[in-house]
Structure 1
């Protein structure tokens, strides 16, 4: 199956794993924007990594991964919800050339924000962006912010993105458990980009761990979905206030708003704008006696 999150668990070791492969989801993002290859490659890695990290969360949350820097790619963001809806976008310099992560982002930061579904609280961690590629940067981030050993591998082509994550679960820190982690980490590190991209999830798991006792769960679907809508844009205009909206319309015939994630365009003219701020009056029907 394509566009899936495949979870698996090592029965005799306190280790979990996740494998993500994106096909239609990845192509849907490419259809929304025409990104140069260096931007597209990094965006594919960020998208895949976001799904992998969101899969480690215990509670229903939206995970947002942002990269900010002073290089040719100054800003990139991907959101992944608990029900595996993904969207992403990037800003970039027109003359961008291929390069390593530091060459593309410059002096950068990696920010990961969690927004629980049933709470107004937001949790964010920000670290300096280190390493030659995103997988190294995330490994560094996880080593700073998580108490659980975690490793990640990422691969991107024009047709598919894929990623593998393994994580040590809380357990007694025995010599046997540490030996098991070292063995699984070494096995995982033998995966190649070609194998991640070309093999199915069951084939990857068998290729890496056929000598281990592994429980494989039902795959979970992933899709590209942007929650933008005309109502959301209307609420944004209401927050500007009627005077500001009228001032814009005096200079422009329409107010045009384009979603940076999905490129959907929304247009409001003067009549639409007045309707946004029209006062709703509720009339009470008087009591009638017979």
Structure 2
């Protein structure tokens, strides 16, 4: 069962969240099997990204999609995870080249130091002319060590965007995608990824309460995060703290693709391109990269799509 737990530390300006994606994460991988599985390191990366995106979405309570992307110059050209306001999530990647077992983030995405991490907030009811908010940072962290973990990158990102100290622990395998987030609460004002910033630079790194809680969180191993339930993890880590917990939330795997959206994308290709594909293959098959769903269009479907007088989709329409 997928679950997300929010909690506060009484008397301290520190909040936390713990997410465990199980049923939904396994469904996500099973759906992907229809178009070919990702290499194990890529599956682990996508699991960590799905957990992280879910944590960040729950942290900011944003009405829309939070899209976490990492892209670079290694065999993994792009990895993306999306979490929506109802905490439904999905993830996929574009892989070109071999990804050896045990490959770390540096080898997959940042071979020549050109990797980037982007977080986009796309409002559900976007106003005309309104653009999604996006922040981009280099694919590196603040710690003085080689880049190996996605958590380093996201801690660095949140320190820059929210100006709040954050400690993040992520882990994933083929059964579980999980994450623990600890964050210092702002002293005053509101800070979030949408760009509302109140300068708190003088407070960064100065909270003894946060530093103590973050140190405890950092002792959590990947094996513990993947195998222990939420109650056990919180009890073992913070048994000396007064932890105020809230009712758990229920994330889930869900894909927003549909035949209507795929049809719109096909219309954006234009009649000439669609007819060319039909002539070569006899029909048009388009598969969703997130869930593996296959959509089929024959000559009749294409003819109806481009019949004069029918509503045609804009060229910018996209499956995603």
The reply to whether TM is greater than 0.5 is: yes
Provide structure 1 residue ranges, at least 5 long, that are not aligned to the other structure: 282-290
3-state SS, counterpart of residue 261 of structure 1: coil
Q: Following superposition of structure 1 onto structure 2, how do residues 120-135 of structure 1 map, counting pairs within 5 Å? A: 120-130=130-140, 131-135=147-151
* Structure 1 position 53 matched with structure 2 position 63: no
- 1:165 is aligned, of 174, 181, 194, to 181
- 1:192 is aligned, of 218, 221, 241, to 221
CA RMSD of aligned residues (A): 2.1
CA distance in 2, matches of 1:47, 1:59: 16
CA distance in 1, matches of 2:170, 2:72: 21
CA distance in 2, matches of 1:208, 1:262: 36
- For 2:124, the equivalent position in structure 1 comes to 117
Q: CA deviation at 1:76?
A: 0.8
CA distance in 2, matches of 1:259, 1:156: 23
CA distance in 2, matches of 1:118, 1:213: 39
Provide structure 2 residue ranges, at least 5 long, that are not aligned to the other structure: 141-146, 189-201, 312-320
- For 1:79, the equivalent position in structure 2 comes to 82
CA distance in 1, matches of 2:172, 2:62: 28
Q: CA deviation at 1:249?
A: 2.5
Q: CA deviation at 1:114?
A: 0.7
* TM value normalised by structure 2: 0.81
CA distance in 2, matches of 1:276, 1:102: 44
3-state SS, counterpart of residue 19 of structure 1: strand
- For 1:262, the equivalent position in structure 2 comes to 291
Mark the CA change 1:127 to 1:249 in structure 2 (over 3 Å): closer, same or farther: same
Q: CA deviation at 1:94?
A: 4.5
Q: CA deviation at 1:250?
A: 3.2
**After the TM superposition, which of the residue ranges 217-226 and 52-61 deviates more from structure 2?**
52-61
Q: Following superposition of structure 1 onto structure 2, how do residues 7-86 of structure 1 map, counting pairs within 5 Å? A: 7-31=6-30, 32-33=32-33, 34-86=37-89
3-state SS, counterpart of residue 191 of structure 1: coil
Kindly tell me the number of residue pairs found equivalent between the two proteins. 279
Q: CA deviation at 1:154?
A: 0.7
Q: Is the 8 A contact 2:75 2:96 kept in 1?
A: yes
Q: Is the 8 A contact 2:13 2:184 kept in 1?
A: yes
* Structure 1 position 101 matched with structure 2 position 105: yes
* TM value normalised by structure 1: 0.89
* Structure 1 position 154 matched with structure 2 position 153: no
CA distance in 1, matches of 2:46, 2:94: 11
CA distance in 1, matches of 2:105, 2:11: 37
3-state SS, counterpart of residue 220 of structure 1: coil
